[in-house]
Structure 1
């Protein structure tokens, strides 16, 4: 497990300083994805694998001043970049593994996770941990600002049904982890999966 964490931290640590400048136009996509979650004023939400905190201001706007916003990431350098960008004003930042969160059970109304699932060492276990911290009926959003085909093309690969984020694989994975798939969107300019915490 430690080796997997070191790999993830190494990958993101060297990219943290210029992460936002590599993806300068993602703001509207983040805003739209957060809007689709259906958060209400006063809700408690976690941005799991928050990186540089690009979703935090939108999550804060959605839950209002009476809500709770947490941002958790395994890589201190990414959280430091979030602080430099002033995004810690949107929520409390935690150095934490999304697969072992320092959050009590059923404490949250929703989890937002941008690009997280492909970095989980054990995806089903990670999704089960996200389910643990969300109340029954609460929501999960798995987001990426571009779809699977566009992302594969960016990396010089072809799209595959073996991809963890493909609907035929992800649906059963979510179900085994305590989630019910609510909607699945995979378009060139957005990947957004919404799921509901089963009772």
Structure 2
């Protein structure tokens, strides 16, 4: 497990300083996905694998000043970039593995996760851990600012039904982890799977 986590850190550490500049136009897509999550003022939400914290301002806006916003990230360099960008003002930043969160069961109303699932060493366990910290009826947003086909093309590979984010793979994976897939959108302009925490 430690080797899996080191692999993730090794991938993101050299990219952290320039991460935001590589994707400067993603802000509106993040804000729209947060809107679709349906957060309410005073709610509590985790950005799991928050990276440089690009979703944190939108999450803070959604839950307002009385809400709780947490950002959990495994790679210290990404958290440093979030702090340099001033995003620590939008929520508390935690150096933590999304697969082993330092949160009590049922503590949250929702989890937002941008690009996380493809970086989870053990996706089923990771999604179960996200379910553990969300109350029954709470929500999960698995988001990416471009769809699966566009992302595959960006990386010079073919789109595969073996992709964890393919609906026919994702729905049972979520169900086994304590989630019910509610809506699924996979367009060139965004990927967004919204799920509800089952009882």
Question: By the TM > 0.5 criterion, same fold?
Answer: yes
Deviations 1:92-113 (A, max 9, x none): 0000000000000000000000
**CA displacement, residues 106-134 of structure 1 (integer Å, 9 cap, x when unaligned):** 00000000000000011011000000000
State the partner residue of 1:64. Answer: 64
When the two chains are superposed, the root-mean-square deviation of aligned CA atoms in Å is 0.3
For residue 167 of structure 1, report the CA deviation from its aligned partner: 0.2
Residue 5 of structure 1 corresponds to which residue in structure 2? 5
In 2, Cα distance between equivalents of 1:174 and 1:7: 24
Q: TM-score, normalised by structure 1?
A: 1.00
Following the alignment from structure 1 to structure 2, what is the Cα–Cα distance between the partners of residues 71 and 198?
Answer: 23
SS at match of 2:15: coil
Q: Please list the CA deviations of residues 30-62 of structure 1 after superposition, one character each: whole Å capped at 9, or x if unmatched.
A: 000000000000000000000000000000000
In 1, Cα distance between the equivalents of 2:100 and 2:7?
17
Residue 163 of structure 2: aligned partner: 163
Structure 2: distance between partners of 1:160 and 1:121: 19
Runs of 4+ in 1 over 6 A off after TM superposition: none
Aligned to 2:14: 14
Structure 1 portions without partners, runs of 5+? none
The two structures have a TM-score, normalised by structure 2, of 1.00
Please give the alpha-carbon distance, in whole angstroms, between the structure 1 residues aligned to 2:150 and 2:88. Answer: 30
- d(CA) in 1 for partners of 2:168, 2:193: 13
Q: Which runs of 5+ in 2 are unaligned?
A: none
Identify the residue that residue 198 of structure 2 maps to in structure 1. 198
* Counterpart mapping for 1:46-57 below 5 A: 46-57=46-57
DSSP-derived class of the 1:126 partner? helix
SS at match of 2:98: coil
- How many residue pairs end up in the alignment? 199
SS in 2 for 1:171: helix
